[in-house]
Chain A
Amino acid sequence: MKNAINQPQTILLLGGGSDIGQAIVHQLASPALRAVILAGRTTPLEMTTQLPGSVEVVSVPFDAVDHAGHDALVRSLVEQHGDLDIVIQAFGQLGDAVGDDPVAAADLAEVNYVGAVSSGLAVANQLRRQGHGTLVVLTSVAGVRTRPSNFVYGSTKAAQDAFATGLGHSLQGSGANVLVVRPGYVRTKMSAGVDEAPFACDADDVAAAVVTGLKRGRSVVWAPPVLQGVFGVLRYVPGPVWRKLDR
């Protein structure tokens, strides 16, 4: 149960190695924080930054495409650690160069979208059962308007974003809620091989936007915030111009 000053006690990070996810965990740390559960494909996972000594950091195996296992995983974590105050959905792949590979593209969709759906619903059911809690979903501006150079990735993020937004609406009145996070280019190990885009920011900037969004009870945050305005325009730029922008 989070306290009066918005400090969570238990955080589950799906995609436990994610730089952005870990930055969010780091900024949510306080004396109230009891457990951080890092869930990921390759365990053991560790926090790359120091948390207060009173925090128990645990690492559990999590496979985004093991759809049938998500519900059981959530239930067993709750059994061990109690209510989940914040769950961050931060797993996903960039999957570059799958624009012409049907199988690789389907695999990417399987992780980024289908995995987000099954794990998102398993988490949402738990938050509904406990009557409180927030699911933070990291989507991307790449899904706001898909670019020719990474439209498969963009499409998975668009679908995940639509799912998360709708899930947030469906949870209205349950005490649970969803915060959709739309970062632009973020300097992380995932994006290391990709050219930096305008309005690039760091994982800590995304985390700061998330913490503010949680405090204010927002349902969507953009990181950096200026991207909301930028994409408000880019969304309607004519196709030929849009293609030209995507060098």
Chain B
Amino acid sequence: MDRTTSRLTGWGCTAPSVATLVDASAQELTAPGALDRLAGSRGVIARGLGRSYGDPAQNGGGTVVRLAPSDEPIRLDVTSRSVTVDASVSLDGLLREIIPQGWFVPVTPGTRFVTIGGAIASDIHGKGHHVDGSFGRHVTEMSMLLADGEVRTVTPSSDPDLWWATIGGMGLTGIILRATFGLIAIETQHMLSDIERVPNLDVLLERMESGDQGYRYSVAWVDLVATGAHLGRSVLSRGNHATLDDLREFRPRAVGDPLAFDPPSIPDVPRNIPNMVIPFTVRPFNELWYRKAPKQHHGTETLTAFFHPLDMVGQWNRLYGRNGFLQYQFVVPFEAVDTLRTIVRKISDEGHASPLTVLKRMGAESGGLLSFPTPGWTLTVDLAAGDRGLPKLVRDLDELVLAAGGRHYLAKDSHTTAAVIRAGYPRLDEWKSIRARFDPDRRWVSDQARRLDLL
């Protein structure tokens, strides 16, 4: 076990705390007495690649554990169309292994740099949520280290309480060591997509409502800088996995090696640069991003270009400078579409520069007690944390979201309060009592758990 004293933040680079960072194999972690020694008085939390935006993978004064890979981090089982992986395996590592063999993950977020453990603990969603649901829905078995030191193999039928408290449970029920989940078969590593420029929010909502069911994947990038008649102008991107026939038609050159997966990457953004994300830069960026999108395009693009365009810039979070940023994500029921309109107008009116705003229609819930996705509109907005009017803006938005019966995403949250989370998650108390049953001594603790009174 490697231990270092580390200052940790989430991807948003806000509210740091110092913890003992331990790199340990599952074997070391599950050895008799190991957990007792690690937990101390401030507890333990697992950390993957630190891509949640706020503080769920921090534990000030306590222990933060990163799992080291096992001898066989990835085991593909073609007959059951599933894969069993270490929780520390990243989507990037997994995709590099399985795409060339014709398989894809059932759910991917906007980045490949998340771990499977984090994907389950946050019950992540992606462009396909309206069809495929969230990640937790596809998991069939987990091996977990529980607070009493037991390593237990858990399935939805063997331990339903623990299972649904763990899916979306932010790592507070135990450490996920290994998980099995279903895969989808693909013929190519390309997408057959439709990209279109949409002039304003109303047209966008209408286009998504009427057309999303024709696609497995759908998301819209929204320009929150545009105002007036252009309010909510967007680029709508929807698609399905391209078949070999599609590839023959649209990209014949790629037919020879349809599963060649080699995502490009550009060097990291340097450390300690000033905040680049200001109206002066965002305005032309958004203009360019909108204009560079085709008015209407039907064709193929690579999986990377379709799902993970931001992964091409390493450490893009540093663009926000030392104050960092927060990613505001909420979901409101479809009936509350007026709240969505109000919020878009409000952010646009107050002139907060956001280069990254995405809108998505969500499908059914997974069943995780603290899972975020629920049927409705989800909007994600990046906001520089140092902005003057931000405290008031997020307070107003929180009220609007809750009044509309919506909720906030714990994997993104870095600013809400216990009251806001309580109002958004009606099954919080049920989750708390299950959690307390499996961890009466509060061994699993994170800064977020303390901040939001989750224990």
Contact = CB atoms under 8 A, between A and B. Distances in A.
B326 A131 contact: no
**Chain A interface mostly helix, strand, loop or mixed?**
loop
**Chain B interface mostly helix, strand, loop or mixed?**
loop
Contacts of B417: 31-32
B260 to A, nearest CB: 40
A2 B55 CA distance: 10
A1 B451 contact: yes
Contacts of A83: 60, 450
B414 A3 contact: yes
Nearest to A32: B417
A217 B324 CA distance: 13
A30 B390 CA distance: 12
Contact of A3 (B19, B41, B42, B415): B415
B394 interface: yes
A150 interface: no
B363 interface: no
Contacts, number: 86
Contact of A173 (B5, B17, B61, B450): B5
B298 interface: no
A5 B17 contact: no
Most buried by B among A82, A175, A217: A175
A1 B447 contact: yes
Contact of B15 (A1, A30, A82, A128): A1
A206 B59 CA distance: 32
B7 interface: yes
A57 B49 CA distance: 39
B326 A175 contact: no
A30 to B, nearest CB: 6
B62 interface: yes
Contact of B16 (A3, A175, A215): A175
B15 to A, nearest CB: 5
A131 B54 contact: no
B419 interface: yes
13 contacts: A4-B54, A5-B326, A30-B391, A31-B398, A129-B61, A130-B60, A131-B18, A131-B59, A131-B62, A132-B15, A132-B16, A132-B17, A173-B7
Interface of B: 5, 7, 12, 14-19, 41-42, 53-55, 59-62, 322-324, 326, 385-386, 390-391, 394-395, 398, 414-417, 419, 447-448, 450-451
